[in-house]
Amino acid sequence: MMELKEFQEQILNGIPKTLPAEKIYDETINHAPRRKPILSADEKKLALQNALRYFEATLHPFLAKEFLHELETYGRIYMHRFRPDYKIYARPILDYPHQSIQAAAIMHMLSNNLDYAIAQHPHELITYGGNGSVFQNWAQYLLTMQYLATMNDEQTLVLYSGHAMGLFPSHKDAPRVVITNGLMIPNYSKPDDWEKFNALGVTQYGQMTAGSFMYIGPQGIVHGTCITLMNAARKVANSVSSSSGRVGEGLLFVTCGLGGMSGAQPKAAKIAGLVSVTAEINPKAVHTRHSQGWVDEVFENLNLLIPRIKTAQENKEVVSLAYLGNVVDLWERLVFENIKVDIGSDQSSLHNPWAGGYYPVGLSLTESNQMMATDPNKFKEEVQKTLVRHINAVNKLHGKGMYFFDYGNAFLLEVGRAGGDVYATLPPVLSGHVGATFKYNSYVQDILGPICFDYGFGPFRWVCTSAKENDLRKTDEIALSVLEEMYKTAPSEIKQQLSDNIIWIRDAMKNNLVVGSQARILYADSEGRVKIAEAINKAIAAKEISAPVVLGRDHHDVSGTDSPYRETSNIYDGSKFTADMAVQNFVGDGFRGATWVSLHNGGGVGWGEVINGGFGLVLDGSIEAERKLKSMLFWDVNNGIARRSWARNKEANFAIKREMERTPNLKITLPNVVDEDLLTNLFKTKNSY
């Protein structure tokens, strides 16, 4: 009881006026790598001026020295001393001091992003992806919590890359928080610009669900990865055993990465019935996934791993193996041993290749971490040499029948930039983005785009702010009955998607997926999202669910993200290099009732490579919540379907026409598709002039 009171007092106090005790650098915690030094002496001074703005002048002489030390040691000023002593996690909503229940829900969500069980580098306020930040420093966290705890429903909190600009008068239907992360003038949005402006303390890489307070732990990605691997296996195996959902028995899947997102691969591969081998160079990451039970067996020695793979293939085992080492050593050995790999991919963090996202072969983890800070040019050279070897091995196995796909981590992009043999045609203008044609497709081009996004299916999610498992169970039951009802009358084009989701939600509790907040993810289309949300809202009103439920989604969705090498890689009309959809989505969600909205530069494939946005919507059982959810969720999905349809994607064209039939106020401009022969002939004639 006392502990809760102290916690509440500390939240209300915001940034302390006196110095808290120094924090010991805890080696047992997974820390962000030291960032490369990038600031000149004058710029360091500016970084200190910026950081000290949060504190009273009396503290400046002391803190200036300490922050300079942090800047020089870690490459960033995290303000470690101000990290609170209380445990940060998604507490029951009423534990947060508040004037607005919506703001309390937001505190619940952002606390989850910083929970030690969830966050990749909790002391550096990084949730996932190596640099996906919730805030840039602890002062920003403290200030934001204080504003959230004291704001009312006629105010909006404005967050610029983690910095709380303040509370502005607004109105009940306005978002309580508007978030922007990493938004740069386009000409200043290259990777080194990020390093510099982040070190100055004026911008941050919010990734997708990190800086937007919508991360729900590894479950979020397990579902998407399951859908991807099940459909990849269907492509390869042409055999479906829909009763178990296990489609790929005996097929071998090889990949890289057991980190924040990538760690879902072995778990999903098991659900899809595959033999999987995942290489991971970081022993901490291997240990986490092994101790969680997501990886069955760990091998440090390829001489032992190879015979184990052969036995697993022969016996059609459903088993997940990990190789603690560099993925390129694994690929080259698989080539040498002539092992038949059926499906291949990679989820190292190549959106962040020069700062710990991808480790060069021949160097230990420690050697690499040292080199990237002390000799960044040499490190870049080593990464690029490794990428060339990496793709050469992949190409050889592809030549023997392996299906390989890019897993949304900028793998093909960076291999291409490194000079690797990855283009299907002549290399495009590398920096000019004329649209590279790679030998391999991305998982969005082959799988998620045509099967999910174009029909409106995407990673819808909800979080029970009571923090009670029983509430989550109730929401699962609601979602299952909605999907079963929809399945009865669904057109054949989306029956498979619905039945995969029915299996997922039916088994969700059994699969024990919750880490952190009581959250559930479910790929649903517009109709499913609205119906599930409506039913949950009614259950809250009827007190069958004990506290508000937050709705949201990953940014990796139908409409929220413009990303030419990932979410919009299956857009072929040239518009994949524009960001209108994501920006329109953010604005449209904002005025249709979202409780908070966010817009980010960077996320997934890297800084400058993507614009993405998200939302949170609090259901409290009220009529207003019902009005908002109907309007906002409808727009949040159909905006993207309309755009995908205009890009001539036939699945989206089907989906938007179906939606117009049942929604009289929806009027979408449809494309007229030109006969290819007409153009071919036209150009033949033209060339003969």
Whether the CB-CB separation of 638 and 456 falls below 8 Å is answered with yes
262 binds ligand NAD (CB under 6 A): yes
Given candidates 119, 233, 285, 625, which one binds ligand NAD under the rule CB under 6 A?
285
Given candidates 218, 248, 260, 552, which one binds ligand NAD under the rule CB under 6 A?
260
- Amino acid symbol at 529: R
- Amino acid symbol at 139: A
> Which region among 187-195, 275-283, 641-649, 669-677 touches ligand NAD (by CB under 6 A)?
275-283
**Least distance from ligand NAD to the Cβ atom of residue 175, Å:** 25
Question: How many residues bind to ligand NAD according to rule CB under 6 A?
Answer: 33
**Least distance from ligand NAD to the Cβ atom of residue 418, Å:** 13
408 binds ligand NAD (CB under 6 A): yes
261 binds ligand NAD (CB under 6 A): yes
Whether the CB-CB separation of 593 and 628 falls below 8 Å is answered with yes
The secondary structure of 346-373, three-state, reads CCCCCCCCCCCCCCCCCCCHHHHHHHHH
| Residue of 225, 365, 207 lying closest to 294 (CA atoms) | 225
Nearer to ligand NAD, 408 or 621 (CB): 408
Given candidates 280, 382, 471, 525, which one binds ligand NAD under the rule CB under 6 A?
280
Beta strands in 359-471 (DSSP E): 403-404, 458-464
409 binds ligand NAD (CB under 6 A): yes
Hey, which residues between 215 and 254 contact ligand NAD (CB under 6 A)?
221, 224
**Least distance from ligand NAD to the Cβ atom of residue 576, Å:** 17
Q: Write the interaction track for ligand NAD spanning residues 160-199; mark x where CB under 6 A is met and - where it is not.
A: ----------------------------------------
Nearer to ligand NAD, 327 or 533 (CB): 327
SS3 content of the chain, % helix, strand, coil (to 5): 45, 15, 40
Rounded to an integer, what distance in angstroms lies between the CA atom of residue 161 and that of residue 203? 5
Hey, which residues between 303 and 342 contact ligand NAD (CB under 6 A)?
326-327
> With the CA atoms of 587, 589, 592 and 594 taken in that order, what torsion angle do they form, in degrees rounded to the nearest 10?
-120
Q: Which residue has the tokens 């071919």?
A: 680
Nearer to ligand NAD, 260 or 621 (CB): 260
Q: Write the interaction track for ligand NAD spanning residues 634-653; mark x where CB under 6 A is met and - where it is not.
A: --------------------
> Which region among 111-119, 279-287, 512-520, 575-583 touches ligand NAD (by CB under 6 A)?
279-287
Long-range contacts at 298-307 (CB < 8 A, ≥ 24 apart): 298/322, 298/324, 299/323, 299/324, 300/324, 300/325, 302/329, 302/330, 302/333, 305/277, 305/330, 306/333, 306/337, 306/339
113 binds ligand NAD (CB under 6 A): no
Nearer to ligand NAD, 408 or 456 (CB): 408
| Residue of 206, 189, 208 lying closest to 197 (CA atoms) | 189
Rounded to an integer, what distance in angstroms lies between the CA atom of residue 544 and that of residue 472? 11
Query: What Rg do the C-alpha atoms of the chain give, in angstroms?
Result: 25
Nearer to ligand NAD, 136 or 347 (CB): 347
Q: What angle do CA 433, 439, 444 make, to 5 degrees?
A: 70
CA 46 to chain centre: 32
Nearer to ligand NAD, 349 or 568 (CB): 349
Nearer to ligand NAD, 80 or 390 (CB): 390
Nearer to ligand NAD, 281 or 467 (CB): 281
**Least distance from ligand NAD to the Cβ atom of residue 121, Å:** 10
Interstrand relation of 163-169 and 132-133 (parallel, antiparallel or unpaired): unpaired
Hey, which residues between 341 and 360 contact ligand NAD (CB under 6 A)?
347-351, 357-359
Nearer to ligand NAD, 320 or 347 (CB): 347
Given candidates 75, 129, 218, 450, which one binds ligand NAD under the rule CB under 6 A?
129
> Which region among 407-415, 513-521, 628-636, 637-645 touches ligand NAD (by CB under 6 A)?
407-415
> With the CA atoms of 463, 466, 471 and 472 taken in that order, what torsion angle do they form, in degrees rounded to the nearest 10?
30
**Least distance from ligand NAD to the Cβ atom of residue 327, Å:** 4
561 binds ligand NAD (CB under 6 A): no
**Least distance from ligand NAD to the Cβ atom of residue 64, Å:** 33
| Cβ burial, residue 305 (10 Å; 0-12/13-18/19+) | buried
Whether the CB-CB separation of 406 and 440 falls below 8 Å is answered with yes
Residue nearest ligand NAD, CB atom distance = 259
Contacting residues for 451 by C-beta, under 8 A, at least 6 apart: 227, 231, 457, 496, 497
> Which region among 22-30, 124-132, 179-187, 634-642 touches ligand NAD (by CB under 6 A)?
124-132
Q: What angle do CA 420, 421, 424 make, to 5 degrees?
A: 130
Rounded to an integer, what distance in angstroms lies between the CA atom of residue 70 and that of residue 379? 23
Residues interacting with ligand NAD, by CB under 6 A? 120, 128-130, 221, 224, 256-262, 279-282, 285, 326-327, 347-351, 357-359, 407-409, 556, 604
